[in-house]
């Protein structure tokens, strides 16, 4: 609704821009469009998980190769997000957003039509590439659309809830599509999301003028992309090789060296990919670390609880997805409360560590699950507690990570947050999977590996190892966020918020 401030003659002159300090009229519709696009990107981290057994049977790939269907997406996405954020700043957010949507839809169609393992993994990697254009453009569009502090808190509450809940919605939707249609529909469904977001984006988003003076930092993109790839690949290799194998520690060492070189290069480059000024604010730094840790811990819940419910308790894909819904409800409730009530009144210092503590408690509680556990008394309470904890961490951290950033850095700051979540998820999945597999192998050592009960208990051993480590991530997050966040309410100066790209 317009507030009647624009004269009637303005409606005919489409090219006339409103004053840069007036928020866009259709901003809540823009939030809906961005929400659909974000949901599509987040869904894809988990929707394919439930379809994997069917896809594997259909295309006939090995257990060893199975993880690449998940990792190819996360790797391409996480490694290229920073570059995507810069591209959004340089070539205009609207254009980047729309190109990202079209590419993502095309890659999804390719994956759905896959006739071989290689074709499926290529399509997943391509989805990651276009997702890396889409996600930072979406978050920076949100940052420049909502310039009022109160409205921005609400918008980030919605966005954060989608970012957190998308994983669980992916599990449910993946279950429904796999059970009632075919695993290929877990990819084809993106065409629907992309079409809705594209039409909305083309109609509602304003074109921003691009900065023609700046250039892309290609050496920086190669260093950070290579570094992140080596880290995730190294952790993934630990599962198939061993921690002492050069295939594992060699890649991890290379990843560390490349990321150190990237940091050094950012102080030298004329147009750095990630200006270090974006990271150096204490609250922002604390937010980046919080998002990284909760990304790593959150994937632990989704991945291992999915296996537990299906393999230990015999749930169907749909029932598994439904089992996660109370966690999503807790997450959405806590995220709304955190962004609209708690952070504006008491600041992040008490809120984020409390969330970390709740999430850690939920993880530790999950370690008590066994073959006789029931959903209502044993699974539901820790799930809800973990959901409440994540809701207190994710949206406030994502909001504070981009608050007060200059307009020219809005895209790159948004990309850095998304990178932290994806990289946390990739590293967490690779590391927890490796620790879990090792625990299973150790349990089976000297026992009868053909006895179904022994195998079932070995599985439980693997899951509880993953939950303990997940809990340890969140406990570390509690300490780090309590130390790093500044006391008091963050300064909310609406004029300091990025407005329109000049």
Task: Give the position of tokens 């994806």.
Answer: 422
Domain boundaries, the chain: 23-207+273-492, 217-271
Counting Cα atoms < 13 Å in the Cβ hemisphere of 321 gives 23
Predicted structure pTM score: 0.74
CA 367 and chain centroid, separation: 25
Smallest CA-to-CA distance from 126 within 195, 44, 196, 192 is with 44
Residue with tokens 């597999």: 437
CA–CA gap between residue 128 and residue 313 (Å, rounded): 33
Domain covering 23-207+273-492 in this structure, CATH number: 1.20.1250.20
Residue 434 structure tokens: 């490796």
- Residue 340: the pLDDT is 79
Q: What is the pLDDT of residues 260-292, one digit of tens each?
A: 999 888 888 777 777 777 777 777 888 888 888
* Residue 67, number of CB atoms within 10 A of its CB: 16
Percent of residues in the chain assigned helix, strand, coil, to nearest 5: 80, 0, 20
- At residue 18 the predicted structure's pLDDT band, cuts being 50, 70 and 90, is very low
| Greater pLDDT, 365 or 59 | 365
pLDDT tens for 343-387 read 777 777 888 899 999 999 999 998 888 888 888 888 899 999 998
């Amino acid at each position: 609704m317009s507030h009647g401030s624009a004269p009637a003659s303005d409606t005919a002159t489409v090219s006339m821009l409103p004053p840069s300090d007036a928020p866009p009229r259709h901003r809540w519709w823009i939030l809906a469009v961005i929400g659909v696009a974000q949901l599509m990107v987040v869904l894809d981290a988990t929707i394919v998980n439930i379809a994997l057994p069917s896809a594997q049977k259909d295309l006939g790939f090995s257990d060893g190769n199975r993880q690449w269907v998940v990792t190819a997406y996360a790797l391409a996405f996480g490694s290229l997000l920073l570059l995507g954020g810069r591209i959004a700043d340089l070539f205009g957010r609207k254009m980047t957003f729309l190109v990202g949507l079209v590419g993502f839809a095309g890659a999804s169609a390719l994956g759905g039509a896959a006739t071989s393992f290689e074709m499926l993994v290529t399509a997943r990697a391509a989805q990651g590439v276009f997702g890396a254009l889409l996600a930072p453009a979406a978050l920076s569009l949100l940052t420049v659309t909502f310039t009022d502090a109160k409205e921005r808190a609400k918008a980030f509450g919605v966005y954060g809830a989608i970012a957190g809940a998308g994983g669980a919605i992916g599990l449910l939707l993946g279950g429904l599509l796999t059970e009632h249609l075919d695993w290929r529909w877990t990819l084809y469904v993106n065409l629907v999301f992309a079409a809705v977001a594209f039409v909305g984006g083309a109609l509602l988003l304003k074109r921003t003028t691009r900065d023609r003076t700046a250039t892309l930092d290609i050496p920086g993109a190669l260093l950070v992309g290579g570094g992140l790839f080596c880290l995730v690949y190294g952790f993934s290799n630990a599962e198939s090789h061993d921690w002492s194998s050069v295939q594992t520690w060699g890649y991890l060492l290379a990843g560390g060296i490349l990321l150190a070189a990237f940091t050094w290069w950012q102080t030298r480059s004329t147009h750095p990919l990630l200006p270090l000024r974006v990271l150096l604010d204490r609250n922002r730094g604390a937010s980046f670390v919080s998002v990284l840790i909760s990304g790593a811990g959150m994937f632990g819940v989704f991945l291992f609880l999915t296996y537990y419910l299906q393999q230990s308790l015999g749930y169907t894909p749909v029932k598994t997805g439904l089992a996660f819904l109370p966690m999503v409800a807790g997450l959405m409730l806590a995220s709304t409360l955190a962004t609209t009530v708690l952070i504006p009144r008491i600041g992040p210092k008490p809120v984020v560590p409390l969330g970390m503590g709740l999430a850690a408690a939920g993880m530790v509680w999950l370690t008590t699950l066994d073959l006789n556990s029931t959903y209502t008394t044993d699974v539901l309470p820790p799930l809800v507690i973990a959901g409440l904890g994540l809701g207190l961490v994710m949206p406030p951290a994502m909001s504070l990570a981009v608050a007060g950033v200059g307009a020219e850095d809005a895209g790159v700051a948004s990309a850095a947050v998304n990178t932290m979540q994806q990289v946390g998820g990739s590293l967490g999945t690779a590391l927890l999977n490796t620790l879990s597999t090792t625990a299973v192998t150790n349990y089976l050592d000297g026992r009868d590996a053909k006895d179904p009960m022994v195998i079932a208990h070995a599985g439980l051993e693997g899951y509880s190892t993953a939950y303990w480590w997940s809990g340890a991530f969140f406990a570390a997050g509690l300490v780090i966020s309590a130390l790093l966040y500044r006391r008091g309410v963050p300064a909310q100066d609406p004029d300091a918020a990025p407005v329109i790209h000049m």
